[in-house]
Structure formats: structure tokens, C-alpha cells
Structure 1
Amino acid sequence: MTRRAVVTGGVSGLGAATAERLAADGVEIITVDIADSADVVLDISDAAAVREAAERIGAVDILINSAGIVGPNIPFWEVDDAAWKRTFAVNVDGTFNVCRAFAPAMIESGWGRIVNFASMAGKDGNPNMIAYSATKAAVIGMTKTMGKDLAQFGVLVNAIAPAVVSTPMNAETAPDVLAHITSLIPMKRVGRADEVAELVAWLASDRCSFSTGAVYDISGGRATY
């Protein structure tokens, strides 16, 4: 049986690397992104649009929530309302919207895998990145609840918490912030997208069978809890 996967943010960065890795396992990939080259062009912060897209796509077995934005790179007292709300709209509301839309079909089928992209920022808090850090902490909290809610239905929900990884999104991070968060990694290097994708592929498979509501660090040793 060929499994189907939706990968949000699947056109670039960690999403694209994950899509490529899952495809290598024979999974049918549907990329969802705001980029025109996506299979489904969609702003995940729009709940109604997400519901409509989910109806068009139909049931999927795997959901990868990698879409996200960095948000403002400034001291928290300088963050304006619009930037704060937009970061939450994409990273938190968007993840919730997509999970809510696709989970019922997974429940009905009795099997599913959801992987949410959090971040080490959601555990440690990155300087000058209050909106991003707060939204990734929220993703961790949502993952823990979703894992419990779906545990008896054969649907596993886990999160990954990468440290800084070489992706187009991090190219937008202020150089001083990037240097600081890289300095926190004992391996003294940033991660690679293919390294993250390998972890996601395991979490999205039958090989992962007794873990749900968990957060998997992939941080080059930065994680302390």
C-alpha cells in the first residue's frame, strides 16, 4: 500500500528535504506551500482555506508540519502587534488548522503519523526572537496534547526540535543572532537538512510505534532537557 503524505512548507528547506526523503521510501508526496511551485498553494493561517484544501486532497496517512516563519529579529519591546500576530498566525494557528483538518481521516483509518516542527528556540528561547520562540513552545504544547488525544486511534503525533539548520529560512536570521545560536551547539556547526529529514522519516513510519506526544531534539548537543 502506498502511503500519502502532506508536507507543509514542502517547497524549500527542511520541508523539501523531508519530502525528498519520504519519497525515497515510496510515499506519495503532496507539497503545500505559499510558493507557486507547490502541489497545493495555500496560506495555512487561513482556516477556511485549509478546510477546503483538505477536502480536495482527501485522506492522507502522514502529515508533516514544516511551514513556518522566523518573525521579527529585534528586542521584544520593539516588536509590533502585526509582526507578533503574523508569526503566531503561521506557526501556531497554521499548524493547528492543518492538524485539525487531516486528523479525522487518520482516526477513521486507524493509522496516521503527524510530525510537527518545533525548535530548540521553543525550549531555550533565542535572543531577539520572542515571537518565534513563543510559537515553537506552543507547537510543543500542542503536540503533547494531540499525542494524548490520538493515542488510542493508531495516530502518533511527535515533534522535532532542531537547533539551527542550514536552510533558506535561517538565511533571514540576523547574523549576530545566527552566530550566537550556533555558538551554543557543542558540535560547533549548524545542522544539515538531510539529517533532520532522516529523523522525520523514522517518526513518519511504522518503525516508530511506541512514541507519541514526544519532542525529539536534533541539536548537535545543544539540548539540555
Structure 2
Amino acid sequence: MQSSDDDDVTDPRLREECLERIPGAAGDVLLVGVVHDHPASTYRVRAVLDRETPATLALELPPPAVPLFEQHAADERTPPPFGGEMSAAIQAADAARVVGIDGPTPTFLRHLVGDLYRERASLSAVCDTVRALLSVTREVATRRVAATVAARTTLRIAVDAPTTYDVSSDDAPDRQATDERERIRAANSVLSAFEPPTAATVRTAARERHMAERLASLRTAGDVVAVVGMAHLEGVRERLVDAE
């Protein structure tokens, strides 16, 4: 994967635990872990894409949701005010092909049904899964409609209100990185303190497998930079390595 001189190597927002490179014969996959809407994450994706020249930019988004984030990325402001790190990545990606690698898609649904069957999930877990899928499907449909309206009119519709934090892009890099680390640590503490429901565990596993399979396919056409939530970084990495 070609890159420019790395002047940001000491920037704390580019720490190693947020970046995972998985080499491949046809192309590398560089996973960029993010915290949604966090300024440190937005900086990270922009810095990575300033120095990398991937053939494909892969985002943890359902494919039908990508056009809305492309609309956000077309904003003349840098980074865009809406769409968080995903729109920032698109804006910085130049000529890279942009794709969504998350579910729900037919392949993802096949994985999910198969995993529920193998886990012998209870009726309650199946019902929870269906409710979650319906919620995600509604969100995707809303984003798709918003993108269509924006493409045909002068309206720009923000479907998701940006998450606010105690820091902004105006704060020092150390302060941004510290706040982001604390939020990741707090989220991990909650996850380790409580056993997630079966439905949530199965959905997460199916999503990570689906994303890893998509990345394995995309890398055959060249290098890939993939922007994924920190909670999925290790799971996707492990599945990609296993696929080698």
C-alpha cells in the first residue's frame, strides 16, 4: 500500500491499537478503529487517508446508507459537519471506490440465520434479533430516502444528530486522544461486567464475519482502508487473518 511521508507518527490520535494492517498477496487491508463522531477518530481517518492510496475505502455502513454519507462528504467544510468519521473518510479518500460492508444484506442474513440455528437460540433471542433487524432496516431506509431527496433537491438532510463529547477538534491532540481512550475503556468495562444477551452476541459475530468476508473479497482488487468501530476491530482482524 503506497503512502506518503508520515509526519504524524508521534500524534497520540494515531496510536497503534487503533490501526491494524493485514497484508495480502493481492492487496493489504488497513483497519482503522474509530469511536463514532469523536474528533480523535475523525482526525485519524483523515490522517490515514492523506498518506494511503487505497483502491477501495470500506465503511462499517450498510451499502444503501453510503449515498447519504457521500452527500455529507460533498460539503465544502473540512471535516464535514455531518456524518462523523465516515463522511470525513469519504471526503479524504480522493479517487478510492467507496463501499459499505455492514449488514443487513442477503449474505449477512444467511450468516445470522445459520448462527442462530447453530447456537440453538431461544425464541426470545430470535424475536430480539428480528426486532433489531427491523430497527436497522428502518434506519437504512430513512438514510436512503434522505440521500435521494438531497440528490434531487438543494436540501441537505441530517438523519443522525452528531454525538457530542467533552472535547472538540480545537482541543490539543493529547486531550482528544485521552478522552477517546477513556471512552473506549469505559465501554470495554461495561461489556466485561455484563454477559451480553445471546441475540446480541450472535448479531455481532455475524456482522464481523460478514465484514471480514467483504474485505477479503475487496482486497483482490487492490489495497483497502476499512473504517470500523473499535468494538469490531479485533473481531474483524482475527477473521481476516484466519481467512489467509
TM-score w.r.t. the length of structure 2 is 0.31
Instruction: Give the structure with the higher percent strand.
Output: 1
Q: Say which structure, 1 or 2, has more relative contact order (CA 8 Å, 6+ apart).
A: 2
Instruction: Give the structure with the higher percent helix.
Output: 2
